[in-house]
Amino acid sequence: MPQFVNFRLFPRFRALKTLPFSTHRMGMADTLCTHLHQSNGSVENSLSKVKPKLDSRCVIQVLNSCHPKQLLLGVRFFVWAGFQSGYRHSAYTYSKACKLLGIQQNPQIIRDVVLSYEAEGCSVTVNMFREVLKLCKEAQLPDVALWVLRKMEQSFNIRADTVMYNVVIRLCCKNGDIETAEKLTGEMSLNGLYPDLITYMAIVEGFCNAGRPEHAYSVLKVMRLHRCSPNLVLLSAILDGLCKSGSMEMALELLDEMEKGGDCSPNVVTYTSVIQSFCKRGQWAEALDILDRMKSLGCHANHVTVFTLVDSLCVEGRVGEAYKLIDKFVVEHGVSYGDCCSSLVISLIRIKNLDEAEKLFMEMLSGDVRPNSLASSLLLKELCMKDQVLDGFHMLEAIENKGYLSTIEYGIYSILLVGLCQRNHLTEATKLAKIMLKKSVPLQPPYKDGAIDILINSGEKDLVNQLTGIRKGL
C-alpha cells in the first residue's frame, strides 16, 4: 500500500517561469498559477473560480510552474483542465504533460492524486477519472490504470463506461496480460456495458502479439454473439496473425469467410499477406492460387504483391520463373511493366546477380520502360560499390537521355562523382557535374569535400563554384 501523504502541505505561490507567450496567455497562466498554488481547500474549486479560456500553451505554461517540486499539483491541474468548456487536451499536450510531470518515471504520482481526492473529500466526477486514465494510457501504465479503475468504483462509487474499460483493456493487452483483459471484457457485460469494436480489436491484437492467433480467431464468435460486427481491419489483423504463425488452413478458412461475407471483402493488402506467408514457406503453387483467386474476385495485385512473389522466387534461384510471372502481372492484373521489371531488378541486386540486373535495366531503357527510383538508385549505388563507376556513369547518361533522371536519389550523384574523381575519370566527372548543375542537384557530404578538391585541381574551379552555390533541397 502507498504511504499516506499530507496533500495540503503545498508551498505558497512561487515566481512563474517566464515564457515567450502573448500577454493574454501570460496573464491567464499567472491567474491560474495563483489559484493553483494558493488554494486553501479544493484545488479544483479554486481553479473553477477563474473560468478561463484555455489553450495548450497556457496549460503547458502552468505545468512548467509546477516543475519540478509541485508535480502532484501539476497533475491535478492537468486533470481539471482536460474537461473545461471549449478546451480539450491534444495528443501533444498529453505527451508533454507526461514528460514535464515525470509520470512514466514516477507512476506513483497518479495513485497519489487519486488518494488526494479521497483524503480531501473532493467532489470527483467521471470526467476527472477519464483524464487520469488518459494519462495512464499516454505513459503506458497498465497496473496503475487497473488500480484507478478499481479505486473509482470502490472508493468513489463511480462506474466506468465502455471508453474507460477500453483504455485499461488495451493497456493490459499491450503489456501481454491478455487474461486480465479478458476478465475486464467479461466484467463489462456484468455491469450492463457492451464491448465494442475497439474492445475486441485490442483483444485480437493482444492475442496475435502473444502468438495466439487461434484464440484471436475465436473472438469472432464472441463478437457475433454480442451482435458486434467485425470490420476489415480486425479481420485482416487476425488473418495476418494466422499467416505469421503458420496456421494456413485456418487462414484460408477465414479468407473464405471474408470473401463470402460481402461487407468485409478482402483487399489487395489482405491477399498479399497470405501470398507472402505461402512464399516464405516455399509454397509457390499455393501463392499463385491466391493470385488467381484475387483476379477471379476482381481484386488486382499491386507493386507490393509483385515484389513479394518475384523476390521470393529470386531468393530460391528461380529467376526464369520470376521473368514469366511478370507477364502474368501485366496482362492479368494491370500492373505496369516498369513496376514489375523494377521489382525484378531490385530482387536481382539482393541476390547479388548484378550482371543480370544491369542487363534487364538497360533493356528497360532501350524499350522505353521507365524504372522506378529505388531500382535506379540501388543499381547505380551497387555499381559504384563494385568499383564500376564508369559503367555507373554510362548508365546514368542513358537514364538522362531518356529523361528519367528525376528518379535518381540526390546522394547517388555525389557517390558517383567522387568515385569518378578518385579514379581520375575527370572527363566523365566534369560531364556528371554539369548534369548535376543542370538538374540543380547539390553536392552532399561526406563525398562533397573530396570531389571539390579534385575538380578544383583539374581546373574546374568555376564549375565547383556553381555546384556549391546550389541550395540544398532544391
Per-residue pLDDT of 78-120, as tens digits, reads 999 999 999 999 999 999 999 999 999 999 999 999 999 999 9
Q: Are residues 188 and 252 in the same domain?
A: yes
Do 119 and 11 share a structural domain? yes
Q: Is residue 433 part of a domain?
A: yes
My answer on whether 87 and 185 are in the same domain is no
Q: Which residues contact 400 (CB under 8 A, 6 or more apart)?
A: 435
Q: Is residue 423 part of a domain?
A: yes
> How many structural domains compose the chain?
3
Which residue segment(s) compose the domain that 105 sits in?
1-124
Assigned domain for 206 exists: yes
Q: Are residues 113 and 39 in the same domain?
A: yes
Q: Say yes or no: 190 and 246 in one domain.
A: yes
Q: What is the pLDDT of residue 450?
A: 67
Are 114 and 165 members of one domain? Answer: no
Q: Which of 210, 238, 266 is the last residue of a domain?
A: 266
Q: Which residues of the chain have pLDDT under 50?
A: 1-25, 472-474
222 and 106 in a common domain? no
- On whether both 118 and 172 belong to a single domain, the answer is no
Per-residue confidence (pLDDT) for residue 263, from 0 to 100:
67
Q: What CATH code is carried by the domain that includes residue 213?
A: 1.25.40.10
Which runs of consecutive H residues, i.e. helices, occur in 316-404? 319-333, 337-350, 354-366, 373-385, 389-401
Cis peptide upstream of residue 142 (ω within 30 degrees of 0): no
Of the candidates 410, 422, 415, the residue with the CA atom closest to the CA atom of residue 457? 422
The pLDDT, as a whole number, for residue 413 is: 87
Are 118 and 10 within one domain? yes
The domain boundary, picked from 240, 266, 292, lies at: 266
- Does 62 lie in the same domain as 178? no
In a domain, 117, yes or no: yes
Residue in the structure block whose three cell numbers are 491478455: 178
Task: Please report whether residue 278 resides in a domain.
Answer: no
Choose the final residue of a domain: 266, 288, 311. 266
DSSP string, 63-125: HHHHTTT-HHHHHHHHHHHTTSTT----HHHHHHHHHHHTTTT-THHHHHHHHHHHHHT----
76 in any annotated domain: yes
- Check residue 426 and give its pLDDT: 84
**Residue 387 resides in a domain:** no
94 and 27 within one domain: yes
For residue 227, tell me if it sits in a domain.
yes
Give the pLDDT confidence score for residue 3 in this predicted structure: 46
pLDDT tens figures, 335-365: 999 999 999 999 999 999 999 999 999 999 9
